[in-house]
Every structure is written in structure tokens, then in C-alpha cells.
Amino acid sequence: MADSKEMQLRASKLYKKRSSFEMVWRQLRRNKGALLGLALLIIIIIGALIAPIVYDYDTDVIGMNVRERMQWPSARHICGTDDLGRDIFARIVYGARYSLAVGFVAVIIALIIGTALGAAAGYIGGVFENIVMRVCDIFSSIPSVLMAIAVVSALGKSTANLMLAVGIASTAPFVRVARAAVLVVRGEEYVEAARAIGQPDWKIVIVHILPNCLSQIIVQATLRVGSAIISAAQLSFLGLGVPAPAPEWGSMLSSGRLYIRDYSYMTLFPGIAIMITVLSLNLLGDGLRDALDPKLKR
């Protein structure tokens, strides 16, 4: 009994030694790029949160105003107006809600499915692992845009299906990361210790193994949100994403494209919005990677 207590204590000490929040934050604070990314992301999130307070969806965002249509950027409409006379800036700010929601939800879907499958594959091994990894190979050889296109076209166009499609298309990397991480820690002493005192497998995986691959999963997730936002915009651009008249950035580009020759501002601003959002996530993700995994830092 005393032995098992001691082992448990030892096991918990061993894995808690890892990355505390403060340590990561101290590393991150020294990285100017990561701070810039974090600041931009916070601004974008705040913008998305207060958009419904500032703008009325029905009148400001989707309401037509024919008298004001096709106006170049001015003090009144800083990003100009579109073909239906809607203020592009208002639509961009409101559009952040869709892009962020799709990006985050898709990645959460991918993260949950991927991590669970990957951790199980790594821990169980054998035939199960083999099947999971082969399926994973298959999924990564289907170009993810085409994969998402297939899923959306099968399930029908809606925001929820878009999230699901992008999520499924970005699952494979999480499976790989989680499996690799589990394989590394599986043989370590504290896991052996936990097994020796008779803890059930599921508990070992969740309590002892997953926290140790958390850093890699967080990094992967942060970087994936960016690519998920791009994927979502791509699908909307192809007319398979968030249905009109919702102000999704990709579909704004799709309609702006028709007027690109004479009203180029309509194509310019939504793209800048996508790029800044993705850039902020990439900056933050790179910074997190350096902070959480000093080995990768160059």
C-alpha cells in the first residue's frame, strides 16, 4: 500500500514537471512575433464578439441599399460598398464570426476525433493501430480541398456541414501527432509505474499520457485553425460554404470577383481580413511551438 502511494506520487510528480503555464508565457513574452499574433487575434475576436452590438444584422450586414451601391472606400464606408450597397467593413467585421467559428469548431472536431483515434492507436497497437494509420494515409492522400468538397456536396450546403467537412479533412494530422506522442511516452517510467499500481488503461491514457503530448497538440491545433479558415473560405468561394447572404469572407470574394476589373476594392478587403486572421494564428502557433518545444527552436 505504501509502495503504491509512493509510486503514484512519483508518477504524478514526473508528469507535472512539464510545461507550466507560467513558463510558456515567459517564453512567449520574449517573442515579438507571437505577441503581435496574440494581439491581432484578440482584436479580431473582440471585433467578432461586439459586431452584433455595433451592427444590426438585418439592416447593416445583409440589408440592400441600392442608392449606396458600388461606392469606393471613403470616410463614410472605409472599405467601400458592394454590388447591393452593403458596407463592406461591416460585413468583414461580422464575417469574422463565421470564419473564426468555422475555423475553431472544425479544428475542435478534428482534434477530438484525431487525438482519440491516434492515442488509442498508439496505446493499443497491433491490428487496430495498423487500420487506423492506413485509413489516415488514405485520408491524407485525398487533397483536403477535394475531400471537403465531397463531404459538403454529399451532406448539403450549410455552415454546420462546412465545419464538419473542414474538420474531417483536417483530422489526419492530429491522429499522427497523438499517436507519435503516445508512442514516445508509452514506454516511460511513470507510465510503467501507473500500470504497475493497476490503473485502468483509459485512465492511464487520459491522466498520464495525453497531458504529455498536449503541447504538440496545442501547437498543431493553433496552426490548423489558420488553415481551416482558409479551407472554409475556399469552399465558400466555390459556392459550397456558408450560404448567401451571410457575410462569409470567401463568398464575399466570390461575388467581388465578378467586379474585379472596375471595383477591385471588393476583392481586396475580404482577402486582407483572411490573411491577417491566418497570419495572427500562424505567428501565435510558431511562437507556441518555440515556447513549448525548445528543441525545435532555431
Partner 1 sequence: MHRYIIKRLLMLIPVLLGVAFIIYAIMNVAEGDPVYQVAGPDATEEQLDALREEMGLNGSLLERYFRYIFKLLRGDLGTSYVSKMDVMQLYLQRLPNTLKLASVAMIVAVVISVPLGIVAAVNQNSIKDTVSMILALLGLSMPNFWLGLLLMLLFSLKLGWFPSGGAEGLRSVVLPAVTVGVGLAALLTRTTRSSMLDVLRQDYLRTARAKGVSEKRVVFHHALRNALIPIITIFGVQFSNVLGGSVLAETVFAWPGVGRLVVDAIDQRDIPTVTGALIMTTMLVTIVNLIVDIVYAYVDPRIKAQYTK
Which residue type is seen at 73?
A: P
Q: Does 17 bind partner 1 (CB under 8 A)?
A: no
Is 95 or 250 the residue whose CB approaches partner 1 more closely? 250
Residues 6 or more apart whose CB falls under 8 angstroms from that of 157 comprise 239, 240, 241, 243
Are 118 and 178 in contact by the 8 Å Cβ rule? The answer is yes
274 binds partner 1 (CB under 8 A): yes
Long-range own/partner contacts, residues 217-220 (CB < 8 A, 24 or more apart): 217/111, 217/115, 217/174, 217/177, 217/178, 217/181, 218/288, 218/292, 219/285, 219/288, 219/289, 219/292, 219/293, 220/173, 220/174, 220/177
> Are the C-beta atoms of 251 and 239 separated by less than 8 Å?
yes
| Closest approach of partner 1 to the CB of residue 234, in Å | 6
Contact 174, 115 (CB under 8 A): yes
- Select from 77-85, 116-124, 130-138, 198-206 the region that touches partner 1 (CB under 8 A): 130-138
Instruction: Identify whether the C-beta of residue 91 lies closer than 8 Å to the C-beta of residue 242.
Output: no
Q: Which of 62, 124, 150, 218 is the binder for partner 1 (CB under 8 A)?
A: 150
C-alpha torsion angle, residues 206, 208, 214, 216 (rounded to 10) = -120
Q: How far is the CB of 50 from partner 1 (least distance, A)?
A: 24
Q: Is 203 within 8 Å of 123 (Cβ atoms)?
A: no
Tell me the number of residues near partner 1 by CB under 8 A: 45
Per CB under 8 A, contacts with partner 1 among 88-127 are: none
Task: Assess 158 for contact with partner 1 (CB under 8 A).
Answer: no
Phi, psi of 50 (to 5 degrees): -90, -5
User: Does residue number 234 form part of the binding site for partner 1 (CB under 8 A)?
Assistant: yes
What is the C-alpha separation between 79 and 150, in angstroms, rounded? 34
Q: Which of 20, 29, 143, 258 binds partner 1 (CB under 8 A)?
A: 143
Radius of gyration of the chain (CA): 23
Is residue 261 close enough to count as binding partner 1 by CB under 8 A? yes
For partner 1, give the closer residue by CB, 167 or 270.
270
| Residue showing cell 510558431 | 286
CB of residue 289 to partner 1, shortest distance in Å: 11
User: Residue 160 interacts with partner 1 (CB under 8 A)?
Assistant: no
| 259 contributes a contact to partner 1 by CB under 8 A | no
With respect to partner 1, which residue has the nearer C-beta, 65 or 140?
A: 140
Q: Which stretch binds partner 1 (CB under 8 A): 5-13, 119-127, 204-212, 229-237?
A: 229-237
33 or 63: CB nearest partner 1? 33
Residue 239 within binding range of partner 1, rule CB under 8 A:
yes
* Pair 82, 91: CB distance under 8 Å: yes
**Interface with partner 1, residue 138, by CB under 8 A:** yes
* Residue whose CB is less far from partner 1, 11 or 242: 242
Q: Which positions touch partner 1 (CB under 8 A)?
A: 134-135, 137-146, 149-151, 153-156, 226, 230, 233-234, 237-240, 250, 253, 257, 260-261, 264, 267-268, 270-271, 274-275, 278-279, 282-283, 286, 298
